[in-house]
Structure 1
Amino acid sequence: MTRQMTGAKMVVQALKDQGVDVVFGYPGGAVLPIYDEIFQQNDIRHILVRHEQGAVHAAEGYARSTGRPGVALVTSGPGATNAVTGLTDALMDSIPIVVLSGQVPTFMIGNDAFQEADTVGITRPCTKHNWLVSDTKNLSDVIHQAFHVATSGRPGPVLVDLPKDVQFASAEYVPPQKARTAHYQPQVKGDMAAITELVEALEVAERPILYTGGGVINSGNAASQLLRELVEASGMPITSTLMGLGAYPANGKNWLGMLGMHGLYEANMAMHGCDLMINIGARFDDRITGRVDAFSPHSKKAHIDIDPSSINKVIKTDIPIIGDVAHVLEDVLKVWKSRGRKMNREGLQKWWAQIDAWRKVDCLAFKQTGKAIKPQYALQRLEELTKDHDRYICTEVGQHQMWAAQYLGFNEPNRWMTSGGLGTMGYGFPASIGVQMAHPDALVINVAGEASWLMNMQEMGTAVQFRLPVKQFIMNNERLGMVRQWQELLHGERYSHSWSEALPDFVKLAEAFGAKGILCKDPADLDDAIMEMINHDGPVIFDCLVEKHENCFPMIPSGEPHNKMLLGEASTKGAIKEGGAVLV
């Protein structure tokens, strides 16, 4: 039995068949047929954002917190171009999202019609794949392909461009099971010879370390469970990128904390001194490697990744394994167990003694003195007062993002949403809206800087309209904090345009939107204010005034290897002071 329907109806039916329950979007002339179909059904909820960038970031937050693809719907021209930042952000961080964009009718394409843009051309570099649908009979098949491509292999964003006449015309609907997806089937099983070689290296290593990334989380809960089993059974230390936090629990005894530019001292020193480095689902980002020729200089290097293009792209790998993290870890454990669960226990014992010595440096130590709230203290108290809740954390980008990664603990995957690769200011607030939509009863907090938060502040209207109780925890130092820090350390304290002289009253701003505003500027009031934020049943803007010139340490200076870090003065023992920090 054939099912004839309009292209607009096909779009909505395809979304239903793909299990989509929420779409983040903003209407315009080129997508009105789709919006008309959305109006006539109740299975998919539409969330009206205030800007298309917000729609895509909200879809990212939904995807990252659920493991399912997020969906955004935008109109042609500026609607599509406003989505570009979110698409690029999702591409850099391997987030599965599907963006549906309107387009002028096919017979107008190329004529500079009203709100026309070459959306496929513009988004080709910032999507995993994109399509321009010129015939309604291909529409449903293409949408099903789009979901397959977004979620298979290394996840990422895709875009389907939909001319208005294609939405009006009718054709036969193709269900998901009949869609053409066989042409894209990424390799998920790792090469067994390479896996055996990795196990052999593991058995004799004296100073091994696991370096994990967002690929573990993208692979699903099974990957995180297998990773935890490997760590507990082998006794190896484990560190993570910014995007991988939560794959291994922060309260686990083998956890070294995050590594990289603002990573922990013990994690970076272990990476520098290891003799076997096993990269699982990370891409050797420059914020992790530092100076490439000095990265983990004494180690044999293994790299597990589902994306073949990531292998040997930045760091030469001795043992490359292409495959899905869960499949590969399952085989690694099988081979290792079958060979007798052998480890160099004497070497490991000495390795842990060295790591414990590095831990004593206490690189995150700080002193909360005086009446100004230290940003580290603000996050330390936020962690203590929220850690037992069903909690999801988003961030904006800057110093507060790094402090959040350092001081907040994540014991489960999918609980941490942040912009890693692109470093997108304005990401966190709309992402928190997407997370709250996916988890309506959870405590969702966006840790923000005032500058980043203002970039998408208009989404407060979305939060209030849809009664989403997202908490905006703004660490307000009245500065572009990370820019100011670099200007202090690297540009002779010449603070060129790194502050604003016209910030809003955030409490009044919250009230203007119909939300709750809270101001806290005294450390003695902080706990009560945080509890007031948590207990409020609607959206909150929490304006936490923090020390204006606090620097984020540890920090690997530009061009230095992992074993040369700047530390805060409170954390050092006999190190050399250099420019208000300590060089270790």
Structure 2
Amino acid sequence: MARRRHRRQGPRRAHARAGRRMNGAAWLVQALAAEGVDTLFGYPGGAIMPFYDALHGATLKHVLVRHEQGAAFAANGYARASGRVGVCVATSGPGASNLVTGIADAMLDSVPMVVLTGQVGTALMGTDAFQEIDVYGMTLPLVKHSFLVRRVDELPHVTREAFRLARSGRPGPVLIDLPKDVQLADATQLPAHVPAAVDEVPRAPPSGYHAAAALLAHARRPVIYGGGGIALGDAVEAFRTFVEGTQIPTVLTLKGLGALPAGHPLHLGMLGMHGTRAANLAVQECDLLLVVGARFDDRATGKLAEFAPGARVVHLDLDACEVGKLRHADVAVVGDLRASLQALAPACSAQLRGRNGGARRRWRDACLQRAREHAPRYDAPGDTVYAPALLRRLSQQVPQAVVSCDVGQHQMWVAQHWQFDHPRRHLTSGGLGAMGFGLPAAIGAQLADPDACVVCVSGDGSFLMNVQELATVARYRLPIKIVLLDNQALGMVRQWQELFFERRYSEVDLSDNPDFCALATAFGVHALHVSRADQVDDALQALLSIPGPALLHVAIDQAANVWPLVPPNHNNAQMLDPQVADGVAPHPPTAHDQKEDADAIPA
């Protein structure tokens, strides 16, 4: 017991030796350390100043970004790459409001974050005081939970609950709003912080496994559709074992990429708006869709009413709210995803050895043959740099890299052509699609694993949205490699205006871009430039050989488009691709197959 009292009193004694009273801010700093936080990202200001005073001399590593949005995205990238809770800090008013985009991104992509914001003193709240905004109300739709701390003795409960909620179940951001007087209040009476246990994820009832296995046994053309929930549920290995055991062709969402290694023989590629032909057509033709940790996002499904029109659906997910939300599930398996896959694998493997085995083998062979026939080509004619070829080449040179993307054409080229071997190595703003994500998220990923090779792929539009974070990269000498694809346009918007707005190019011209190499150099970041295809190999080698941070500026053709593309209000079989006839429909099952399927699959 004496030893326990010593450990509980130790932090206060250390603080007393420093000549400072234990206030709410100092208690919170020590609570963060007790929660396992080692790094936080922020920008100081008036209402959060007591917290920054408490940070002075603390063991926590604080990373000073150059804009609060950079802090939120950096914490976001830290959490995505590590699986741990990311923490960001800002002051009241504009500091807090600048965090909102990063908070929303974390909510839509289920990223565990704890957000700390300063607030005016409790006596001033509601008076329109300087830099006062209702952060609690402003962020309520964007977080798993918000806390407004009104008394210092609320801090232990609030801190414990914030981290528990951020980690538990489907992860997400939690906000703690801290009035200045609460931070300054005497906290000597507060106990040492003890983290709360993460809620145990419930297991799905066995009836779901049996129903799923029975439905799969009757399927002749099954497809597995995997999403971001696989990584969130720590189910990557279980998912791979399941795919191997069942030998079912598999497609992945943008956030699911890496759940199967890119070169896996059963991986048909990404599905959806910019998905592969093999993936999209397989889903459109299948008679059973086994959905694992995916949510039928509109970018994945295309025209929802025509998505997988002949398929029964088995939906495995942790979040019951996602099951049946957009597509009826014939069988719902709601619970711990890893446990569900482990329980379902032997049952399904046994069932698959029975009836319809020959039909499933023919189906699998046909899907894989189509994937081979429509594999991307990298022998683009001409002297200009072909972005997909450059990205594939870089992927081969740094196969274990963590890649942080911005949003636009380059984001889709990375998804299509980088060979990911784990979902946590692919950091991308999926649900929100936030430009400016890439560079600060790369900062977070690099600080989560200082030994990792971190590559930021950005476009000229996205890069300028948080370009100030080059100062953060330079200050902390983070060895991030930045590949900046510059077509002097808002490329994705320009492509849509070309295809669907009769080439009325409205406000997409970026021909007055700065000299990006000079800009990077001004920040203290080494810069290279490449504009011809025959320069790419040497440029990539030079980029990777630089020991510190470096930027490779790549001039690409403004007319280059991302293919394939599913037009709006079309199904995923109706892909546009100049190399293939437009709007190719899937090969329909024969009348004989349709009759057999109707007889085989139970209602």
The Cα shift of 1:148 comes to 0.7
Deviation by residue 1:414-470 (Cα, 9 ceiling, x = unmatched):
110000010000001000000010111121101111110110000000000011011
Does 1:9 pair with 2:52?
no
Q: CA deviation at 1:203?
A: 2.1
Residue pair 1:234, 1:343 contacting (<8 A) in 2 also? no
For 2:482, the equivalent position in structure 1 comes to 472
Q: 2: CA distance between counterparts of 1:460 and 1:488?
A: 33
Q: Which amino acid aligns with 2:253?
A: T
Q: 1:35 aligns with which of 41, 52, 61?
A: 52
The alignment partner of 1:242 has SS state of coil
Q: Contact 1:202 / 1:208 at 8 angstroms: preserved in 2?
A: yes
AA partner of residue 263 (structure 1): G
Aligned to 2:73: 57
Q: Tell me which amino acid in the other structure corresponds to 1:347.
A: A
Aligned counterparts of 1:50 and 1:141: Cα–Cα separation in 2: 32
**What is the distance in 1 between the residues matched to 2:448 and 2:577?**
39
Q: 2:431 aligns with which of 421, 444, 449?
A: 421
Q: 2:103 aligns with which of 87, 95, 98?
A: 87
Q: Which residue of 1 aligns with 2:330?
A: 318
Aligned to 1:160: 176
Consecutive unaligned residues of structure 2, counting only runs of 5 or more, are 13-21, 587-603
Paired residue type of 1:141 = H
- In structure 2, relative to structure 1, the CA distance for the partners of 1:341 and 1:155 (3 Å cut) is farther
Please give the secondary structure, in 2, of the residue aligned with 1:549. coil
Instruction: Tell me the residue number matched to 2:213.
Output: 199
| Larger of the two Rg values belongs to structure | 2
What do the CA deviations read for 1:538-572 (whole angstroms, capped 9, x no partner)?
Answer: 11121000111111001111111111111132xx3
Q: CA deviation at 1:384?
A: 2.5
Q: Is the Cα–Cα contact under 8 Å of residues 245 and 349 in structure 2 kept in the other structure?
A: no
- Following superposition, the deviation at residue 36 of structure 1 comes to 1.2
What CA distance in whole angstroms lies between the structure 2 residues aligned with 1:214 and 1:198? 21
Amino acid at match of 2:443: I
User: 2:591 is matched with which residue?
Assistant: none
The worse-fitting range, judged by mean Cα deviation, of 554-563 and 335-344 is: 335-344
How far apart are the structure 2 equivalents of 1:544 and 1:343?
54
Distance 1:357 1:555 in 2: 21
1:240 matched to 2:252? The reply is yes
- Relative to structure 1, the CA distance from residue 37 to residue 489 in structure 2 (aligned partners, 3 Å threshold; closer, same or farther) is same
Shift of 1:354: 2.1
Please state whether the residue corresponding to 1:473 is helix, strand or coil.
Answer: strand
* Aligned partner of residue 559 in structure 1, secondary structure: coil
Three-state SS of the structure 2 residue aligned to 1:566 is coil
Q: CA deviation at 1:109?
A: 0.4
* Alpha-carbon distance, 1:340 to partner: 8.6
Pick aligned residue for 2:511 from 497, 501, 519 = 501
Letter in 1 for 2:366: Q
Deviation string for 1:223-271 (max 9, x for gaps)?
1111111111111111111001111111111111111100000000011
Contact map agreement 2:455 2:483 (CA 8 A) in 1: yes
Distance 1:343 1:186, change over 3 A: farther
Counterpart residue number, 1:112: 128
What TM-score, normalized to structure 2?
Answer: 0.91
Q: Is the 8 A contact 1:50 1:459 kept in 2?
A: yes
CA contact 1:533–1:540 (8 Å) conserved in 2: yes
Q: How many residues align?
A: 568
Which sits farther off after the overlay, 559-568 or 480-489? Answer: 559-568
1:550-561 equivalence runs, <5 A = 550-561=560-571
Q: Partner amino acid for 1:197?
A: A
Once residues 507 and 445 of structure 1 are traced to their aligned partners in structure 2, the CA distance between those partners, rounded to angstroms, is 17
Q: Comparing 317-326 with 473-482, which one deviates more in the overlay?
A: 317-326
Partner of 2:467: 457
Q: Does 1:491 align with 2:505?
A: no
Match for 1:295: what amino acid? F
Inter-partner Cα distance in structure 1 for 2:429 and 2:378: 26
The equivalent of 1:430 in structure 2 is 440
Residue 531 of structure 2: aligned partner: 521
Residue type at the aligned position of 2:228: G
Compared with structure 1, are the counterparts of its residues 215 and 462 closer, same or farther at alpha carbon in structure 2 (3 Å cutoff)? Answer: same
Q: How far apart, in 1, do the equivalents of 2:289 and 2:164 lie?
A: 33
Q: d(CA) in 2 for partners of 1:308 and 1:566?
A: 35
Displacement of 1:174: 4.4
Alignment-mate amino acid for residue 34 of structure 1? F
2:203 aligned partner:
189
Q: For 1:323-338, what aligned pairs fall within 5 Å after superposition?
A: 323-336=335-348
The equivalent of 1:211 in structure 2 is 225
* 1:362-389 deviation digits (Å, cap 9, x = unpaired): 25235422221122222122223222xx
Q: Distance in 2 between matches of 1:198 and 1:80?
A: 46
SS of equivalent residue, structure 2 residue 423? coil
Aligned counterpart, 1:347: 359
- State how 1:18-29 maps to structure 2 within 5 Å: 18-29=35-46
Q: Deviations over 1:457-492 (max 9, x none)?
A: 000000000110111101111111100000010000
Q: Secondary structure at 1:464's aligned position in 2?
A: helix
User: Alpha carbons of 1:178 and 1:383: their partners in 2 closer, same or farther (altered >3 Å)?
Assistant: closer
Q: TM-score by structure 1 length?
A: 0.94
Per the TM alignment, residue 583 of structure 1 is displaced from its structure 2 partner at its CA by: 8.8
8 Å contact kept, 1:391–1:442 = yes
The aligned amino acid for 2:483 is: F
Match of 2:147 among 114, 131, 136: 131
Q: How many Å separate the matches in 1 of 2:249 and 2:564?
A: 20
Q: Say whether the 8 Å CA contact 1:249–1:411 is kept in structure 2.
A: yes
Which stretch of the first structure deviates more once superposed, 187-196 or 101-110? Answer: 187-196
1:501-533 per-residue CA deviation (whole Å, 9 max, x = no partner) reads: 320111111110011011000111111111111
- One-letter amino acid of the structure 2 residue matched with residue 332 of structure 1: L
For residues 148-190 of structure 1, what are the alpha-carbon distances to aligned partners after superposition, in whole Å with 9 as ceiling and x for unaligned? 10111111111100001101112333455475x7xx9475311
Q: Deviations over 1:1-28 (max 9, x none)?
A: 5767421012111111110110001011
How far the C-alpha of 1:341 sits from its partner, in A, is: 6.0
Match for 1:329: what amino acid? L
2:316 corresponds to which residue? 304
For 2:109, the aligned partner's letter is: D
Asked whether the 8 Å contact 2:460–2:484 carries over to 1, the reply is yes
Report how far residue 338 of structure 1 moved: 7.2
Matched residue, 1:48: 64
Structure 1, residues 277-296: CA drift from partner, whole Å, max 9, x if none? 01111111000111111011
- Given residue 277 of structure 1, which amino acid in structure 2 is its aligned partner? L
Name the counterpart of 2:383: 371
Local SS of the residue matching 2:294 = coil
Structure 1 residue 357 displacement after superposition: 3.9
1:260 aligns with 2:272: yes
Does the 8 A contact of 1:187 with 1:322 survive in 2? no
Q: Is residue 217–residue 352 contact of structure 2 (8 Å, CA) maintained in 1?
A: no
* Aligned with residue 251 of structure 1, among 246, 250, 263: 263
SS for the counterpart of 1:102 is strand
- Provide the rounded CA distance (Å) in 2 between the counterparts of 1:535 and 1:124: 46
Q: 1:391 aligns with which of 371, 390, 401?
A: 401
Q: CA deviation at 1:356?
A: 3.0
User: Aligned to 2:556, which of 546, 560, 569?
Assistant: 546
Counterparts of 1:131 and 1:500, CA distance in 2: 42
For structure 1, the 5+ residue unaligned runs are: none
The alpha carbon displacement at 1:310 in A equals: 1.1
**Aligned match of 1:295:** 307
Compared with structure 1, are the counterparts of its residues 173 and 302 closer, same or farther at alpha carbon in structure 2 (3 Å cutoff)? farther
Q: Distance in 1 between matches of 2:442 and 2:485?
A: 16
